[in-house]
């Protein structure tokens, strides 16, 4: 297993534990769910803008990471093609 695979597993387990903790907290105290969800029908435009903003920021972040990886690979591939394997 490579270091990146180990990191992915550790982060996945961490996110899973956090989501499990949030689920347990929500089930033990349903008032928190009501507080969190009651403003969605009250302010639909604000809720929509928040969702769109979070979606757009996620798309920009992931696109920048994938673009960086693609450019890095292209530069390495061109260097290997030009100079041969070292």
Q: What gap in Å lies between CA 68 and CA 70, rounded to an integer?
A: 5
**56 plus 31 within the same structural domain:** no
C-beta atoms surrounding 32 within 10 Å: 13
Dist CA 53 CA 13 (whole Å): 27
> What range defines the domain where residue 75 resides?
43-86
Q: What is the mean pLDDT of each run of 10 residues along the chain (86 residues)?
A: 92 98 92 88 95 98 93 92 81
Q: Is the pTM of this model over 0.75?
A: no
* Count of domains observed in the chain: 2
Whether residues 32 and 50 share a domain: the answer is no
Task: Kindly state whether residues 31 and 49 are assigned to the same domain.
Answer: no
> How many Cβ atoms are within 10 Å of 40's Cβ, its own excluded?
13
Does 31 share its domain with 48?
Answer: no
């Amino acid at each position: 297993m490579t270091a990146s695979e180990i990191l992915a597993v550790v982060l996945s387990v961490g996110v899973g534990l956090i989501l499990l903790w949030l689920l347990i907290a929500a089930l033990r105290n349903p008032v928190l769910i009501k507080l969190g969800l009651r403003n969605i029908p009250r302010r639909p435009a604000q809720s929509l803008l928040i969702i769109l903003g979070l979606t757009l920021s996620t798309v920009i972040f992931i696109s920048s990471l994938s673009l960086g990886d693609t450019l890095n690979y292209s530069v390495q591939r061109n260097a290997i093609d030009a100079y041969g394997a070292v």
